[in-house]
Amino acid sequence: MIYAQIKSGHKLHLALEGGEVDREGVRIERGMLSHPLCGQRMTEPNYRMTINVPLANACRKCRAIAAKQ
Ligand SMILES: [Zn+2]
């Protein structure tokens, strides 16, 4: 799992990385990232950036979902 930002200045969402399995049992392809865990729509074709450390402005819904997994 990795923190990912869709647009500059927006909060970070959590996404699954290649090899991880989502809640429907679908494995994410190698080199790919899932959509945000909270269901936020992607307005861009790709994430602007990804980061391993949680920053203060990470999405609460994503964190709550991740905590249950
Ligand atoms: Zn989110």
Among candidate residues 19, 51, 47, 26, the one with its CA nearest the CA of residue 35: 47
User: Is the C-alpha dihedral spanning 33, 37, 39, 42 positive or negative?
Assistant: negative
Determine the distance separating the centroid of ligand 1 and the alpha carbon of 66, expressed in angstroms. 10
- The reported pLDDT for the residue numbered 23 is 87
pLDDT of residue 53: 86
Please report, in tens digits, the pLDDT of each residue of the chain (69 residues total).
999 999 999 999 999 999 999 988 999 999 999 999 999 999 888 999 999 987 778 999 999 999 987
Residue 17 alpha carbon to ligand 1 centre in Å: 15
What pLDDT does residue 6 have?
Answer: 95
Block residue for tokens 């799992």: 1
- The pLDDT, as a whole number, for residue 43 is 84
How many A from CA of 12 to the centre of ligand 1? 7
Distances (CA, A) of 48 to 12, 23, 24, 42, 59: 10, 24, 26, 11, 16
Domain range annotation of the chain: 1-69
- Match 């950036």 to its residue by tokens: 49
- Alpha carbon of 11 to ligand 1 centroid (Å): 8
Determine the distance separating the centroid of ligand 1 and the alpha carbon of 67, expressed in angstroms.
13
